[in-house]
Amino acid sequence: MLYAHIYTKIHTLITFDNEIYRESGIGKKGVIANSPLPITPPPHHPTTPSLIGENNDMLLHLSTWYEVQEYLYRSQGIIIPIGSTEQHGPTGLIGTDAICAEAIARGVGEQLKVMVAPTINVGMALHHAAFPGTISLRPSTMILVIGEYITSLAKAGFNKFFFINGHGGNIATLKAAFSETYTILADLNLPNAHLVQCQVGNWFMASGVYQLAKELYGNQEGSHATPSEVALTQYLYPEAIKQAPLAVEVARGHQIYGAADFRRRYPDGRMGSNPALATPEHGQQFYEVAVKELSNSYLEFLNSY
C-alpha cells in the first residue's frame, strides 16, 4: 500500500517510517508515502519535549555533585533511559529507540522531580548488525555496562533504579544484568546493597501506548520500525522526518536469529510495520500517554519494598 501524509503544520508532504522494536517482534505491512518536495522541517520549538528535557534541572549530567548530594537527602531513586542505535527501516532514525526513551525519561523526571541519568544510547542490537549504522553491544558487554552504571550510582547512595527502555531487544539482557549486579553489590559489601532494586519500564509496552497504537494503526503497527515510535521521533525532531519508497508488502512473524538471517527475512528492516502512517501529532499523543503511565509505574516502584 501507499500512504501519503500531509503534515499541515509544516505545509509539507511527507512520509514517515516508524519503528518500535517489540520484544516479540513481528512484521507488518509495508506502506509508503512519497513526496516530490524536499522536506523543510521547522526548527525546534522551545516547547518540544527534547528541549524541555534539556532545560529541566533533574538531569544528572547538568547537575553538580553538590546538587546530586542534596537530591540524595530526599530520594534514592533514579531513572536511566536506555535505547539502541540500530536500523529502523527506510525512514526511521537510527537513534529512534534512544531518542524515544530519553524524551520519555526526561518527561517523567521533570514531572516527578526525579533525577535522570545519562542515556545509554547503545544496546543489544546484534540482529540488526547487517544494516549500516547499527552499533551494538554483545549481551555480555551490556551486562558489564549496566553493572557499572548501577554500581557507581549505588556507591553514591542510589537504591532504586528505573530503566526506561526503548528497545525490546534489551529486555532479556537488562534482566540478566540486574541479577549479576545484585550479586556484585553484595560481594562488595556496600552498606546499601540489600536495598538496591532495579526495574525496566518499556514505554512501547505501556497499556495506553498499546491501545493508542491499536486504534491508530491496527495490525500495521507491526513490531519494528513501528508507526508509533516513528511518530514519537517526528514529534521530537520534526526537522529529521524522512521519506523513502516503502514496499507494499512487508514481512512479519519470523523468529529472530542472526544478523544475516534477519536481513534476508526483513530486507528493508521493517517487521510488519507501516511507518508511513505516523504523524508528529500522533507522536505527541504517544509521548503524553507514555509519560503519564511510566510516571505511575515509577511511583509504584519507588514506594514498593
The Cβ of residue 100 has, within 10 Å, a number of other Cβ atoms equal to: 33
Report which of 151, 102, 107, 162 is spatially closest to residue 301, judged by C-alpha positions.
162
Stretch that binds Zn ion, among 14-22, 39-47, 147-155, 248-256 (CB under 5 A): 14-22
CB of 46 to Zn ion, least distance (A): 27
Q: Residue 97 interacts with Zn ion (CB under 5 A)?
A: yes
- Toward Zn ion, which CB reaches closer, 33 or 232? 232
Nearer to Zn ion, 107 or 269 (CB): 269
Structure-block grid coordinates of residue 145: 555496562
Binding status of residue 21 toward Zn ion by CB under 5 A: yes
Choices 11-19, 104-112, 184-192, 294-302 (CB under 5 A): range interacting with Zn ion? 11-19
Tell whether residue 19 is a contact of Zn ion (CB under 5 A): yes
CA distance between the termini of the chain: 50
Is 96 or 234 the residue whose CB approaches Zn ion more closely?
96
Asked if residue 204 binds Zn ion (CB under 5 A), the reply is: no
Shortest CB 196 distance to Zn ion, Å: 29
The CB-of-9 to Zn ion minimum distance in angstroms stands at 24
Least distance (Å) from Zn ion to the CB of residue 97? 4
CB closer to Zn ion, 71 vs 287: 287
* Residue (48 or 273) nearer to Zn ion, CB: 273
Nearest-approach distance from CB 206 to Zn ion, in angstroms: 15
Q: Which stretch binds Zn ion (CB under 5 A): 16-24, 57-65, 185-193, 230-238?
A: 16-24
Q: Give the Cα separation of 280 and 276 in Å (integer).
A: 11
Our CB check for Zn ion shows the closer of 96 and 136 to be 96
Decide whether 21 or 217 has the Cβ nearer to Zn ion.
21
| Binding region for Zn ion (CB under 5 A) out of 51-59, 65-73, 97-105, 296-304 | 97-105
Is there binding between residue 102 and Zn ion (CB under 5 A)?
no
Q: Measured from the CB of residue 297, what is the shortest distance to Zn ion in angstroms?
A: 20
Compute the least distance from the CB of residue 100 to Zn ion, in Å. 7
Applying CB under 5 A, which residues contact Zn ion? 19-21, 96-97
